[in-house]
Amino acid sequence: MRTDSSLRGLAEALADRSDADLAALLTRRGDLASPPPRGTAVLAQRALSASSIAQAGESLDLATVAVIEAFLECGSDTARNDVIGPVTRDQLVAALGRRLKRPALDARLADLVAQGLIWDSGAGTARKPAWIAGIHLPAALPWRGHHLVGPLATATPEQIQDVIDGLDERPRELLATLTVGSPLGRSRDAAPDADADAPVPRLIRAGLLARIDEQTVELVPMVGRLLRGEPPLPTAVLAPPPMSGGPGRFGPADVDAAGAGEALELIRHSATLLEVLGQHPAAILKSGGLGIRELRRLAKATGLPVARVGLLVEILAAHRLLDSGHPEPEPAEATGEPVFAPTVGVDAWLHSTAERKWHGLAQAWLDLNRRPWQIGDTDRDGTTLAALSSELFDATAPVTRRQVLELLAEAPEAAPVEVDALVANLAWRHPRHLRRWTRRFVGETLAEARDLGLVAHGALTAPARLLLAGSDDEDDAAAAILAAMLTALPTPVEHFLVQADLTLMVPGPMTAELADQVEAIADLESGGAASVYRISESSLRRAFDAGRSGAEIKALLEARSRTPVPQSLTFLVDDVARSHGSLRVGVAAAFVRCEDPALLAEVLRSDAAAEVALRALAATVAVSPAPVREVVDALRRGGFVPAGEDSSGALVDLRSRGVRVAARARSARLPRRRSKLGLGQAETIVGRLRAADRAEQVPRSSITTSGDENTTALIQLALRTGRSVRLGYVDAQGAASRHLVKPKALQAGQLIGASDEADDASFLLHRITGLELL
């Protein structure tokens, strides 16, 4: 057994590991591999740094944090300047008691060893090892104190609440201050010899505060959760809280169908919002972003809630379907300033299939580095947060969004999970971000996921599970997601029901062909699983403007309706068709043609004629210097129903498609999840690391040199005999290193050979500081 003065260091422990174990360490703690370490000594030095240990602490759950706290408590008596411990398993069992089962303790000890946070000191035995850790191990904790082995660690939430309820007014005020702000507080009363009757010493004795040093205290995390009204953080038993109460009332097919219904609503609302913005773009605030006033205008125009519009705006902008710029063509109310308007990519998106539209929007939300549910909130300065503003930027948003949904993915299919259960589990798995996991944070994230069809009836849908899982092959992953959504979507219908009140009831999503036909002759009155469209004079005139005839419309109604077409609807189509197109407007700048001289004379006497300067050329023809579009609009405002025609006399569709802005180049997309070192990369780094260790070994040959002439002679000897050399080298930046090289050639003042770093490495002779023949 080793003495305390000869405890094994981390570098020695890492050198004894297998290549597979070292590769696993590098994949777990990717920061250790950048840049690739030169030898296990460098690797150990990085692994023991406070910053690297703190980053490793991001992945530790509450039970592992408790093991580290117990380790620090048990090893504090034997801690030296550079290491903490040794600590045995029996000591940890005694410190944690029955709060953590033995297999769970062993698993977490093995995990801490695998991550290089603790290692076998060599002071124990094979059956009873003793572990030690670096002096910076406390950096892995999510807090400063040791709360999971403190006075309230074994208390239930109810017992802690009883202690809080028994406090006087002044101690409760101090706790309230630490609850809303930083959990750390400074006070002279934190010293052990302070007045015992002061509020701070009383709170320390009650276990509600932990003493960090003589002037610093910290609020116990379990206490803070209770005071903020969040789901408690139980520590009496260090096991993950239950997440699902069992199977729900709905099966997987029901969950997928409900999610698909929300996906269709998302697509429909997105198209409606883009259409409104195409006709009336939104103004940009001076500070950037889309203001609440504009959101309310859009909400009124689309018939959607303001919060829904804010979510859609953020997603559409992330998907590059909405952007800021100068619109083309300029709208009537143009001010010359940039506006938010649909991009040129909208037209292609509108003609995509439903599953592709949904996939793009869902992926954009999942990668969105903003939180749309915060729109309308106020920041610390009292400023209202606007949509698309820089104040909403949060680089952690994609990571935390995935953490919420990936936890939901661990529940059985179609098993509903309550928000409180999710909050409690997230707090247990990610205690470093304990204050982030609130009911509102998790609840709003789930609400957005429901709006996108990713969550339904409290469970993840099948397409959402595939979207979260991802794949190395993005094409295969996308194909699987699209297939799952296509399966979940209801089968498109090719018919409708004509009703007596001149409405069309469509019992489901329509095929693309039927949707174009119905939307051309009717206006949407109510959407949902079964949509209702209303036919009116204006909607019929719109169809006639697009070149459809009365006979075509009646044939469509007869062919696609499962109910008899009311006679009143047939009369309406005939009446509108009879009056439509009596006036024809073409290009002169514009001309008006009418086969009825009396009608054209009436037009020339109207205010509309004066507005566009119409003058008669003949009894049936008049011309205007105004563009065709202006002439048509003026005549329609005057009560006439003109139609546009081209040079051949055929009807043309003069409807405006809305303005468009050029989409800016897409910036490099943030990684969907924190990038991890691949196993192949890790194995390559381990190979170089082993080579560096061999290069640093004690020389095995007495044939060494450091002079230029002797160096050349020794290299030539190595070339003749086929032996390797170990050389010391200083690069252009002055960094010294050692290398094992198999010489291949000596030319132009360079040694060329195969090293562990490359098959054809070159070394300048004048930079070689020493050479050993092996």
209-220 pLDDT, tens digit each:
999 998 999 999
| Angle made by CA atoms 741, 745, 751, in degrees to the nearest 5 | 55
Q: Which residue has the tokens 């609130």?
A: 438
Q: Where are the alpha helices (DSSP H) in 371-418?
A: 397-409
Rg (CA), the chain: 37
Instruction: Evaluate whether 771 touches 704 at the Cβ level (below 8 Å).
Output: yes
Residue 527 is predicted with a pLDDT of 78
36-70 pLDDT, tens digit each:
888 888 999 999 999 999 999 999 999 999 999 99
Average pLDDT over residues 365-386: 90
pTM, whole model, 2 decimals? 0.79
What architecture is domain 697-773? Roll (2.30)
Residue 99 is predicted with a pLDDT of 92
Instruction: Evaluate whether 497 touches 557 at the Cβ level (below 8 Å).
Output: no
Nearest to 179 by CA among 439, 435, 440: 435
Res. 672 pLDDT band, cuts 50 70 90 = very low
Average pLDDT over residues 214-228: 93
Res. 671 pLDDT band, cuts 50 70 90 = very low
Choose the weakest-confidence range: 120-134, 219-233, 465-479, 574-588. 574-588
Residue 1 is predicted with a pLDDT of 40
Say which amino acid occupies 751.
Answer: L
Residue 321 is predicted with a pLDDT of 94
What does pLDDT average to over the chain? 86
Give the residues across from 526 on adjacent strands: 532
The beta strands (E) that lie in 661-724 are given as: 704-705
- Spell out a b/e string for 346-367, using b for 16 or more CB atoms within 10 Å of the CB, else e: beebeeeebbbbbbbbbbbbbb
What torsion do the CA atoms of 635, 640, 643, 644 make, to the nearest 10 degrees?
-10
174-196 pLDDT, tens digit each:
999 999 888 999 988 888 888 88
Choose the weakest-confidence range: 406-410, 565-569, 632-636, 733-737. 733-737
Choose the weakest-confidence range: 329-333, 577-581, 608-612. 329-333
Helices (runs of H) and strands (runs of E) counted in the chain: 30, 27
Instruction: Evaluate whether 427 touches 65 at the Cβ level (below 8 Å).
Output: no
Q: Which helix (H) or strand (E) holds 134?
A: strand 130-134
Tell me the C-alpha distance between 203 and 111, whole Å.
Answer: 36
Instruction: Evaluate whether 503 touches 535 at the Cβ level (below 8 Å).
Output: yes
Query: What are the extents of the domains in the chain?
Result: 4-142, 149-227, 252-487, 497-563, 583-640, 697-773
Given a cut of 50, is residue 692 above it in pLDDT?
Answer: yes
Instruction: Evaluate whether 340 touches 277 at the Cβ level (below 8 Å).
Output: yes
